[in-house]
Amino acid sequence: MRADFNVPLEEGKVRDDARIRAVVPTIENLLSRGAALVLASHLGRPKGEAVPGLKMDPVADRLGELLGKPVRKLDRVFGPEVSKAVDEMKSGEILLLENLRFEKGEESNDRDFARQLAEPVDLFVSDAFGTAHRAHASTAGVAEFIPAVAGLLMKKEIEELSRCLENPQRPLTAILGGAKVSDKINVMRRFLQLTDHLLVGGGMANTFLAARGYSLGQSFYEQDLLETAQSIINESEKSGCRLILPDDLVVTRELKPGSESEVMAPQDISGDWKAVDIGPETVKSFGRYISTSAMIIWNGPLGVFETPPFDEGTRLTAREVASSNAYSVVGGGDLVAALEALDLAGKVDFISTGGGATLEFWEGKELPGIKVLQDKT
């Protein structure tokens, strides 16, 4: 079973176990039906090298605690040691392989590596939606050698994200944040055709404001995407979707916790000021659209959330979403972490475990890790 155990670590312990907890129902389902389960995941970006700080041992420890049973962790991904351990497994036992990305063949989707991954086992269960947009050996390649099916989390992700695209409740409002327009050009264009309102915050809003002619001082924006941003503004005027940009912004001269800040309209930002969050009037404006929506989809924080007090726009908007009557779907690692920190994750209807995968799914792309799966029935 391919899981997404790419979790943050701190002093050799799992700091946030949300991604581990998300696949526990699939694990318990398989074990209850007599499976011997071999788990595989990546952790971090070791780029084909064995990095001691990215070993899977803390994941095995935390998963064992959540399941209330031992999880044996191997120091290899494939080879005689793995084959022997799998052959000796009994029904109900769990084995976790070492970090897949310690092997160069993983990200290159090397066919021989995929074959060796598949060799000791009978069935491939994919429950790692967060990596489904990657054509890696463990997400797509193994399906050439053994039957591949969706796990319970993968099934839920496909159903919930499809619901946003195929049968949305209206008014439908999308909220997009994060630093860069370049990461979200295609999904923005899709949302202009799909949604009734598109609210834009975070660093990406700066690029649209700059395209409208505001100087924005020392604010970050993507100079090479100003024409693209203007074309998206033009498309929004023809699409029937209202594109809503910030009316005011929180600005600072130095991006550090507790630094001096002011609230300014975009046209007033100059000199060495830089925009780092949406302002209070924008929060109110966003709140009006949120409160009248029947469905909300949200990806990306609306300011520099990791540097208080520039998390305020995201915090207040999250509370608006959580308290609204709308059906809410949230995706993206940074934003999910923000909701967890605010204790609001339980008040959102569905939280996607994907970041890039969620965006690409919403764009309408066929994801390699889903394409290889047999019909989910």
**Among 76, 180, 319, 347, the one annotated catalytic:** 180
Rounded Cα distance, 128 and 342, in Å: 25
- Between helix 312-323 and helix 333-341 the angle, nearest 10°, is 80
Token digits for 265?
């309209």
Q: Which helix (H) or strand (E) segment is 94 a member of?
A: strand 94-96
- Catalytic residue status for 319: no
- Catalytic residue status for 180: yes
- Between helix 18-32 and helix 57-67 the angle, nearest 10°, is 60
Instruction: Starting at the earlier edge strand, list the strands of the sheet with 94-96.
Output: 37-39, 94-96, 72-73
Residue 286: what residue type?
F
Rounded Cα distance, 98 and 57, in Å: 8
> What sign for the dihedral angle of Cα 257, 263, 267, 269?
negative
Q: Report the number of secondary-structure helices (H) and strands (E) in the chain.
A: 14, 16
Token digits for 330?
């949230």
- Catalytic residue status for 356: yes
> Quick check: 136 and 363 in contact, CB under 8 A?
no
- The DSSP result for 66-132, as a single string, is HHTS--EE-S-SSSHHHHHHHHT--TT-EEEPPPGGGSHHHHTT-HHHHHHHHTT-S-EEE--GGGT
Residue 89: what residue type?
M
- Taking Cα atoms as reference points, which of 259, 260, 261, 243 lies closest to residue 251? 261
Q: Which helix (H) or strand (E) segment is 31 a member of?
A: helix 18-32
**Among 333, 354, 355, 369, the one annotated catalytic:** 333
Catalytic site residues? 19, 180, 333, 356
